[in-house]
Chains A and B, each alone.
Chain A
């Protein structure tokens, strides 16, 4: 059976994935909408930066984050001045790392969804007396629902499986920053394959169920703009 420290790691993992997904959806939605709409010439630079976590080794990302969050880094210096102390090796630090690590998995589905909707539905809504904010909530968001769902599921599932970044900036503090993927690594290091099996299986099933639900819902919610 799963032991108590592993259950704590599981709880931390789920909490981290949930907080990260919520933050990414809140920040990512307006940002992806802007990316889908803007005709700014240098947009491609922003897109490349957003896609970086897809190709960068997590250790590289984690290393830079560690430096930035540490007492001598720019973010660390800021938090020092605000009196919250350095963020490295804290849960907040993990959230920051995860948000960056999972960024493309949320931004790209959202941006594609907004781009696919096009400008026409918003124009129609404008001629039907809807203000810009009104039409964003009553037309754009409902039409982008499949994309939002995909973004949420991918962001959540990807954060569940995070390893390298967490190890670099969160360390491995049981009960505080130890997540499931690192707990599994510890078990394997200790040759405790039974525990590694339990946790790995759990993560596998969780991820599969999440994706299955997303694909099932997306099929039902698929909409086309006639």
Chain B
């Protein structure tokens, strides 16, 4: 199943013009600044708005094309709004059951218990939405959307209205959705950390246009895109837990770039994780550094150096099979005479583990 969508619409002075093909599995994140048209796009996919010029094909089904328009209540979607928007006149249980009761029994693939359990809302079932915290409300909203057994889950910045603490509370539940259900997700966000953690596929949206669309690891390291420039540039590397070095309290991870050592965890061997490496934590040397305190040292080949004119530039490296970004001063790049094709040694100072 793939998702083919083409929308062309004017809203006030804003013009959304997208033509995309998205994978029918995993999490596809739509990332962009406020006002880039992310929510407009999601609402069009849900059928909440009807752009006059639109085409939307989900697998075999045409949801919109010319005169064809499937109204939102006939689309097998789940939608999580930015504000939980629970029905205040119903209990938590009533909210979760509202959509599910309207799904024919034969199409219920997610059980009520599963939806409730995945979001951990058992203790809240008999309460009214008004008595819940922001994080609890958002979890109920997610359970409610899941309980309709959607074939496509649409999430509009579900964490944006929460403070940092509440985000930490809800994020693990999002991870478990990702891992335990095979429902494709279209996830709208302007927070890069959420995208790096959750997304498999990334769509960059800017002023109503698609800047790029592709695997998240590739897009993050493309120097022609805005993400790889600036102080917040980072790389993502998929990894599996290979073993633990108990003496040193370290965990060994197998990746396409080679073997990483990170601070000890109790993750089981074989568990898939993601490594998030800030470009500013990667330094370069022309000769293999000896007697360095840094554990994660890799031979690498320079692929590209960004043409920024500020103090710093971004260098894209190939380490084994993985792309990796390094953020260094323009002065150093000049002094080391870095150019594409050149072999170097990359030192990774710090790694964030996304479990």
**A residues at B contact (CB < 8 Å):** 120-121, 123-132, 134-135, 138-139, 142-143, 145, 223-226
In B40-59, which residues have CB < 8 Å from any A CB?
46-48
Contact across chains for A120 and B99 when beta carbons are under 8 A apart: no
| A123 proximity list for chain B (CB < 8 A) | 48, 72, 81
Contacts A120-B81, A226-B129, A226-B130 given; does A127 touch B87 at CB 8 Å:
no
| B77 proximity list for chain A (CB < 8 A) | 127
Q: Which of B83, B89, B137, B145 contacts A127 (CB 8 A)?
A: B145
Contact across chains for A126 and B88 when beta carbons are under 8 A apart: no
Shortest beta-carbon distance, B103 to chain A, in Å? 6
Asked if B78 CB lies within 8 Å of chain A CBs, one says yes
| A129 proximity list for chain B (CB < 8 A) | 73-74, 99, 102-103, 148
11 contacts between A and B (CB under 8 A): A121-B85, A125-B98, A126-B73, A128-B73, A128-B144, A128-B148, A129-B99, A129-B148, A139-B87, A224-B130, A225-B85
Contact across chains for A127 and B79 when beta carbons are under 8 A apart: yes
| A125 proximity list for chain B (CB < 8 A) | 73, 87, 98
Contact across chains for B98 and A127 when beta carbons are under 8 A apart: no
Chain B: interface size category: 20 to 34
| A145 proximity list for chain B (CB < 8 A) | 89
| B129 proximity list for chain A (CB < 8 A) | 226
- 10 closest A-B pairs by beta carbon, nearest first, are A128-B99, A129-B102, A127-B79, A126-B72, A142-B89, A223-B88, A124-B85, A126-B73, A129-B73, A120-B85
| B86 proximity list for chain A (CB < 8 A) | 226
Q: Mark B292-306, 1 if CB is under 8 A from A, else 0.
A: 000000000000000
| A224 proximity list for chain B (CB < 8 A) | 88, 130
| A226 proximity list for chain B (CB < 8 A) | 83-86, 88, 129-130, 137
In the complex the two chains form, what is the Cα distance from A127 to B98 in whole Å? 11
Q: Mark B82-100, 1 if CB is under 8 A from A, else 0.
A: 0111111100000000110
Contacts A120-B81, A131-B73 given; does A126 touch B87 at CB 8 Å:
no
Q: Mark B301-345, 1 if CB is under 8 A from A, else 0.
A: 000000000000000000000000000000000000000000000
In the complex the two chains form, what is the Cα distance from A103 to B291 in whole Å? 89
Q: Which of A124, A131, A132, A134 contacts B87 (CB 8 A)?
A: A124
Other than A124-B79, A127-B46, A129-B102, give 10 A-B pairs with Cβ distance below 8 A. Answer: A121-B85, A123-B72, A125-B87, A126-B73, A127-B73, A128-B145, A130-B102, A142-B89, A223-B130, A224-B130
Shortest beta-carbon distance, A43 to chain B, in Å? 21
| B88 proximity list for chain A (CB < 8 A) | 143, 223-226
